[in-house]
Structure 1
Amino acid sequence: MAAGPAPRREGASASRARLADRYRAWRDHHSLSAADSLRRVLASPGSSLLTWLVIGIAMALPAALGIALDNARNVSGSWDSPAQISLFMQASVDEASAAELQQSLSLRGDVESAQLIPRDAALREFAELSGFADVVANLDENPLPNLVLVVPAAGVDPAVLRAEFADLAQVDQAVLDMAWVQRLNNIMELGRRLVLALGGLLVLGVVLILGNTIRLAIESRRDEIVIVKLVGGSNAFVRRPFLYTGLWYGVGGGAVAALLVLAALYFLDGPVSNLARLYQSGFTLQGIGLIGSLQLVLLGGFLGLAGAWLAVSRHLGAIEPR
């Protein structure tokens, strides 16, 4: 007896077809949701612009403060030289005696180097750097003492050396020059933490602002959501347009923040450059750059998605067909 035709297997191909159809439907709905959400945002330019401005200002404040701290850190970076002890000689100590002390200190194992600055050279340097050359020229006598600059060796506590050198008979005063730099670094670290705290609060504010905006959008489309759920639309299907709405608000707010920071830097660039020239410094104000601008836009988009997700997760479940 002849065997009949083998049965056709439809299961795998049907499954593949269903998966492909579901993927195309999912992709098309994402495209439609993104386009429709953007159209709705742009259809109300006044309210959308106000939302973007609020988000942009909230994001621009910590970004601008962070850039200011980075520029201050660049300025102070040139001051991070090794700890240096300034030994101001007694007025009665002449240059020869100061030179003998400088040579004896340079031979010590706990001293990396010792440099003598004679009082006449110190006065000339002061006249050049201070701009008071005319006043200095009219002085009856040099008020500055001879100075020995001591750099401690690696691993040596400069405070211990300073206390020891302060007891020398030739020394009138011993000053640890790095103490003020350490205080400045501590102040900058405090400023960095304050900026982080302020940034965290403002980021939370941005999420709450976007969440409230999305909540209002949900309420305005309550009837549409009920109808979609009546015909079988899932929560993910209903949630998708609102997530894109939050994304557009966040991206727009991030772009506004980048523009505000760039405008502030452009406004300050001229005065900062003029001040740097007055102090014979080559410092230039560092801006946010293209990467920083893109990071603000991406951060805004992320915050927009986060705020929309929180709002939709909280309010969408309360809207059900009756």
Structure 2
Amino acid sequence: MSILFSGRAVGATATQPNILQKLLRGIFTHLRQAITSLGELWRSPLWTLITVAVLGVSMTLPTTLHLLVKNIQQVSRSYDQSFEISLFLQNETTSTEIATLVTLLQGDPQVDKVRLIDKAAAMTEFKQQSGFGEALAFLDQNPLPDVLLVTPKVNQPAAAEALMQKLQKERHVELAKLDISWLERLAALMNLLQQAVYTIAILLLSAALLVIGNTIRLSIMDKKAEIEVMKLVGATDAFIQRPFLYTGIWLGVFGGFLAFVVVEVMLWWLRSAIATVTQLYQSDFVLNSLSMQEFGWLMLIAVSLGLIGSYIAVRSHIKAIEP
């Protein structure tokens, strides 16, 4: 019993190095073919540069449009306070009733904050900004009402509209007003711009996919005789097509990095001009660049394009080559 057990143990330990050797041999083969494919690109620098440039430019435009949408959204977020509901109170409302109403609104779960603009402060500001201060001094009483500015917790047009209808029915409220039509137009334009970015990106990336596939096809046709010899000595299609797949991956890596460099250089060139404009308007706007996550997505899309384009080419052409 112990002899059988030890025999199984010896046999088990004897197979482990074989599995490890196969694993290491497979990794070494992949590394060698990846380095060989990189060397093949180096031997034809002109076609490599053309393909990388086409892929890089194809990814630069959608990346730039993505950054444009991203920075416009940053600007539009600064207008969240525009979702303020103005509650014009009745003239006979006392300060105690106003304080009670403010406390009631602050306890509403749909309300973020409440700000009071009393009629005296409103009249003082109106005198300063209108230029009719001397004429307004002849008024017997202040015609302006007290105003409560209510900010909803949910900064969406539908939610703000529903809250306004609710607050309109509150006691001592004469009129409720919410002007968000221009924000709705801005949201519609942003949605249109995003759809345009997606459409342009799909068209350009499809063109890049075709360029990579055609480049790999020409490389396969150039090595047709070599592929026939490899098949004669027993090489499988998977072994033959692997270097071409790595070629597509390398093209994707270089093309994606080129797109990143072009976008960063363009942003660096624009930042000085934008800084001058923001100083004139006393704005704290800062032009955002690609984050690390977005850079990762850019490289992943570029590598995926290279891999898919090369895979389509090798699957349709290597099988057709027979000795």
Q: Same fold (TM over 0.5)?
A: yes
1:67 partnered with 2:71: no
Among 292, 295, 302, which residue is 2:294 paired with?
292
Count of matched residue pairs: 291
Cα 1:87–1:26 shift into 2, 3 Å: closer
Look up the SS of the partner of 2:81 in the other structure: coil
Q: Distance in 2 between the 1:200 and 1:73 partners?
A: 22
Equivalent position of 2:83 in the other structure? 83
Cα 1:274–1:59 shift into 2, 3 Å: same
1:180 partnered with 2:182: yes
Q: How does 1:189-200 map to 2 (within 5 A)?
A: 189-200=191-202
Look up the SS of the partner of 2:319 in the other structure: helix
Aligned amino acid, residue 222 of structure 1: K
Q: Distance in 2 between the 1:181 and 1:8 partners?
A: 76
TM-superposed CA distance for 1:316, in Å, is 1.3
Alpha carbons 1:110, 1:152 under 8 Å: kept: no
Alpha carbons 2:87, 2:148 under 8 Å: kept: yes
Look up the SS of the partner of 1:55 in the other structure: helix
Equivalent position of 2:269 in the other structure? 267
Quick one: percent identity of the two aligned structures? 32
Alpha carbons 1:254, 1:296 under 8 Å: kept: yes
Look up the SS of the partner of 1:280 in the other structure: coil
Equivalent position of 2:122 in the other structure? 118
1:204 partnered with 2:241: no
Q: How does 1:220-231 map to 2 (within 5 A)?
A: 220-231=222-233
TM-score, normalised to structure 1's length?
0.74
Equivalent position of 1:282 in the other structure? 284
Q: Distance in 1 between the 2:272 and 2:237 partners?
A: 54
TM-superposed CA distance for 1:291, in Å, is 4.4
Equivalent position of 1:308 in the other structure? 310
Cα 1:123–1:259 shift into 2, 3 Å: farther
TM-superposed CA distance for 1:74, in Å, is 1.4
Equivalent position of 2:242 in the other structure? 240
Q: Distance in 2 between the 1:151 and 1:51 partners?
A: 57
Look up the SS of the partner of 2:259 in the other structure: helix
TM-superposed CA distance for 1:106, in Å, is 7.2
Cα 1:100–1:281 shift into 2, 3 Å: farther
Aligned amino acid, residue 309 of structure 1: Y
Q: Distance in 2 between the 1:224 and 1:30 partners?
A: 19
Alpha carbons 2:164, 2:177 under 8 Å: kept: no
Greater alpha carbon shift after TM alignment, 68-77 vs 257-266:
68-77
Alpha carbons 1:206, 1:303 under 8 Å: kept: yes
Look up the SS of the partner of 2:117 in the other structure: strand
Cα 1:102–1:34 shift into 2, 3 Å: farther
TM-superposed CA distance for 1:9, in Å, is 12
Alpha carbons 2:249, 2:303 under 8 Å: kept: yes
Q: Distance in 2 between the 1:62 and 1:123 partners?
A: 51
Q: Distance in 1 between the 2:181 and 2:95 partners?
A: 22
